[in-house]
Amino acid sequence: MLAKDEHYMDRALLLAARGRGRTSPNPLVGAVVVSPDGVVVGQGFHERAGEPHAEVYALNMAGARARGSTLYCTLEPCCHVGRTQPCVARIVDAGIVRVVAAVEDPNPVVCGKGFEYLRGRGVGVDVGVGAARALILNQPFFTLVRERRPFVILKAATSLDGCIAQVPGRPTRLTSAAANRHAHRVRAEIDAIGVGVGTIVADDPLLTARGAYRERPLTRVIFDRRLRTPARARVLSTRDAGPVIIVTTEEAARRDDSRRALEECGAEIEIAAGASVRAALERLGARHIDSLLLEGGAMLHAAAWDEGLVDFVRLYVTPHVLGPGGVPFLDGRTFSSAGLVDAHVEPLGTDVLMEGYVHGPH
């Protein structure tokens, strides 16, 4: 039975992944309905926030064949009324006799209550099949619910000798075309890109996803404690791609001239309760941003690292050597890719992608 459960859960997890880049702030969820004789009679995945959940798609496909069947789902079925009706009632009404779920939903309005509802109405419930993969699949969702902040991916391109730029404040192009394509594909899936104001001043980047299809608007975040972002910054000319949020302090926001000029250019000013990176991230969490690609610069990377807020590291290591005058990754702090959890290494043209969790999935 366990081997069969794992087989069908694998299928549900593959379905869930098809919603990447489209469901936030909702989780990625897949569901499969299997008849008593082992035939898949229905399947589906959550496609977009506000649209039917995975279980509904699977049950609709199964129709009358759902009666007496087992439902496999990658997350605990919901039991509350939100933008859609609760899935647990649909499951019971369809005649499902057993539910196999990968993990419990951490959302306090669900968090075991969905399982309790099903068991109370005679539906068998088993939890834990495929749990590790399901947890990794929804790291941003779990982080947002549990820590009230986005899942933070620290992204950097480094030289072979561990530097991110030739000299401070000067843009240094390191990555190959293959690595650049990969980076833009990643941008197409996450909720937001974050940079420090120093990167805006030095590089004047667009911060858009280019060469990769993106269905939802991409939020761009500028961490700017003193509100130094120039009103002429190029990113402010790309608001058709998504909102631009400048996170600053209350003191800086009181400078009416600077704030007014930026707001007139379309920037949204977000005031953090303090100067820490965590305070800024909590403001983003309040906006339901569940994943943040932290692209630089060196000071912002180091600050997030020091506060223990980096969840995942993605490094594009290039064959360039910048020498002793280069700007070291993480400002010279101790870092070893060998210490990453569930590390992944992949060649990208002349570069090498090295990535993994800092402390493991949570």
- Which residues are known to be catalytic? 55
Q: Confirm if 74 and 13 have CB atoms less than 8 A apart.
A: yes
Write the DSSP symbol of residue 52.
Answer: P
Give 136: exposed, middle or buried? Use CB within 10 Å, 0-12, 13-18, 19+.
middle
Angle at 106 between CA 98 and CA 90, to 5 degrees: 35
Give 286: exposed, middle or buried? Use CB within 10 Å, 0-12, 13-18, 19+.
exposed
Please tell me the distance from the alpha carbon of residue 277 to that of residue 255, in angstroms, as a whole number. Answer: 21
Query: What does each C-alpha distance from 312 to 118, 172, 180 come to in angstroms?
Result: 36, 23, 19
Please tell me the distance from the alpha carbon of residue 256 to that of residue 152, in angstroms, as a whole number. Answer: 31
Strand order in the sheet with 124-127: 40-45, 30-34, 70-73, 98-101, 124-127
Please tell me the distance from the alpha carbon of residue 191 to that of residue 288, in angstroms, as a whole number. Answer: 9
Tell me which amino acid residue 86 is.
Answer: P
Segments of 134-214 assigned E as strands: 151-158, 163-165, 192-196
Please name which of 52, 51, 53, 55 lies closest in space to residue 92, comparing C-alpha atoms.
55
The torsion angle over the Cα atoms of residues 282, 262, 192 and 49, rounded to 10 degrees, is 80
Q: SS3 of 210, please?
A: coil
Please tell me the distance from the alpha carbon of residue 231 to that of residue 261, in angstroms, as a whole number. Answer: 6
Q: How many residues appear in the chain? A: 362
For the chain, how far is it from start to end, CA to CA, in angstroms? 28
